[in-house]
Amino acid sequence: MRTGYLGLVLALVLTAAPVSAQQMDKRGVPYRQWDVDGGFGFVVGDRDEVAAADENYDEWGGSWIGDVAVGRYWDSHLKTSVGVNAGTSTSWYGYETVTVSPGQQGTAYLFGDTRKTEVTLAGTWQFLDNTFTHPYVSAGARIGFLDLQSQRSSYVQAQVNGVWRSFTIPVVERSWREVRTRPFVAIGSKAYFNERLFVRPELALMFNQSGLRQWGLRLGFGVDF
């Protein structure tokens, strides 16, 4: 996995290198067309976003991530970019309904693990001209590629004639893949060490149909071409 990300960074750099000259926008403001950066961050999110169960008790958790991204400026303010977040592993739990006898249903517990890799597509508006720091806002979509595994417990609880009873059932293990796309917004700033090298702190918020489901802080380091 690490070798793959290093290869991606190298490919992005080689792609961007031939267009290293500065451009001028319609207002006569100079800019470089490409930037490449890599970074790390800490994200906190609802485990329902990586789970596959009827109920996950609205539990939130945090994890570290690493990523790389390449951006293309269309003028001195507008940029589009694509990035890849390194896979993170998250454990989760829940339950599913199981039929134990005709007309009788019970609850079986699930224990699972999900590994997620994200591709980020974003549009960014960068403020200010020819300054040390450029605040910006971004919006776009995060496409999550999820590898899920789950194991159903070997017993189920069901109510029979008003009395709760335990039944033994076969353990079921499953493995599958899903793709989930979520919108996000972000704010940050691009601060320069010199003419081309920069650091980029960022706060990002991700949503689904129920509202805010993840927030994260990221610190990236990169270069303009």
Mean pLDDT value across the chain: 87
Cα Rg, the chain, nearest whole Å: 23
Structural domain of residue 135, as residue ranges? 2-18+32-224
128-153 per-position pLDDT tens digit: 998 899 999 999 999 999 999 999 99
Tally the domains of the chain.
Answer: 1
The band of 53, judged by pLDDT with boundaries at 50, 70 and 90, is: low
The band of 13, judged by pLDDT with boundaries at 50, 70 and 90, is: very low
Tokens of 134: 């450029």
Q: Is residue 111 part of a domain?
A: yes
Buried b / exposed e along 178-200 (16+ C-beta atoms within 10 A): eeeebebebebbbeeeeeeebbb
Q: Is residue 175 part of a domain?
A: yes
Q: Is residue 27 part of a domain?
A: no
Q: Is residue 179 part of a domain?
A: yes
Beta-strand runs (E) in the chain = 22-24, 30-32, 34-46, 60-73, 78-101, 104-126, 133-152, 155-160, 163-168, 172-192, 197-208, 211-224
CATH number at residue 168: 2.40.160.20
Assess whether pLDDT exceeds 80 at residue 18. Answer: no
Q: Is residue 194 part of a domain?
A: yes
Assess whether pLDDT exceeds 90 at residue 69. Answer: yes
